[in-house]
Amino acid sequence: MDTLTASEAADLLHLNVKRVQSLARQGKLPAVRVGRKWLFPRRRLEALLGGAEAAAAPAVEISARNRLRGRIAAIHADGVMAEVRLHIGDQELVAVITRVSAERLGLQVGGEAFAVIKATEVMIGRG
């Protein structure tokens, strides 16, 4: 694994070294403390920046547990919004996101993606 010192990470992120160390202490940047030094995994920092190196980075790590992986069946972009149909097993999930987000994520029919479900309520109705 290619690691960076706090100074190198600060240069990469265009931040002050003290700020980088503070973010590492708070758990907001991926880092490991070895003795009195912080070490940062280069690929994970580059993934945070969203550069070309991010494409080769490992899967996204998020705290949400409600993730459903599937294959994109259809994308219908109209105006500022995009409807994305995701096949998950024998079910279909439809999400409406901004068109810019769909383009930024590089979503394509047939590609893999995952849905993250974040809800405080689930309602069930009956006719």
List, for residues 86-98, the tens digit of each pLDDT value: 999 889 999 999 9
* Domains, the chain, ordered by start: 3-56 (1.10.1660), 67-116 (2.40.50.100)
Global pTM reads 0.49
Distances (CA, A) of 45 to 6, 62, 70, 107: 12, 15, 27, 23
In the prediction, which pLDDT does 109 show? Answer: 95
CB count, 10 Å around CB of 41?
Answer: 19
Using pLDDT thresholds of 50, 70 and 90, give the confidence band for residue 55.
very low
In the prediction, which pLDDT does 51 show? Answer: 54
